[in-house]
Chains A and B, each alone.
Chain A
Amino acid sequence: MKRLIFSLFTAAAVLSGGLVFAATAADEVTVTDAYARAVPPGQPNSASFMLLSNASTTAHAVVAAESSVSKVSELHTHTMSEGMMKMRQVERIEIPASGMTRLEPGGLHVMLIGLNHDLQPGDEVAITLTFEDGSKRGITAPVRMLQMKKMQQDMGGMEHGRMSQ
Chain B
Amino acid sequence: MRNALRTAGMLILLVVLAAALVWVVVYWNPEPRQVNQELNIRRAPVGGDFELASYQGPVSLRQFRGKVVALYFGYTQCPDICPTSLGYLSLALSQLSPEELAGFQGLFVSVDPERDTLQRLKDYGEYFNAAILGITGPAEMIDDVVRRYGAAYRKTETGSQMGYIIDHSADTYLIDRKGKLRAVLPHGTAPEEILAALRKLLREE
Contacts and interface: CB of A to CB of B under 8 A. Distances in A.
A162 B84 CA distance: 19
Classify the interface of chain B: helix, strand, loop or mixed.
mixed
Contacts of A37: 80, 83
A163 interface: yes
B37 to A, nearest CB: 16
A113 B87 contact: no
Interface in A58-111: 71-72, 74, 76, 78, 80, 82-89, 105-106, 109, 111
Nearest to B168: A84
A19 interface: no
Given A43-B124, A111-B79, A146-B88, 8 more contacts: A76-B160, A84-B153, A87-B165, A113-B160, A114-B161, A152-B190, A158-B189, A161-B185
A71 B160 CA distance: 13
A111 B91 contact: no
Contacts of A106: 80-81, 84, 187-188
A156 B191 CA distance: 10
A66 B185 CA distance: 35
11 contacts: A37-B80, A41-B127, A44-B77, A84-B40, A84-B153, A85-B168, A88-B158, A89-B159, A106-B81, A113-B162, A160-B193
B110 interface: no
Interface string B158-194: 1111100101111010100000011111111111111
Interface in B112-140: 120, 123-124, 127-128
Given A71-B161, A164-B183, A165-B182, A87 B81 contact: yes
Interface residues of B, number: 50
A76 B160 CA distance: 9
A71 B161 CA distance: 9
Nearest to A81: B167
Nearest to B41: A82
Interface of A: 37, 39-47, 71-72, 74, 76, 78, 80, 82-89, 105-106, 109, 111, 113-114, 145-146, 148, 151-152, 155-156, 158-165
Contact of B190 (A84, A85, A151): A151
Nearest to B184: A162
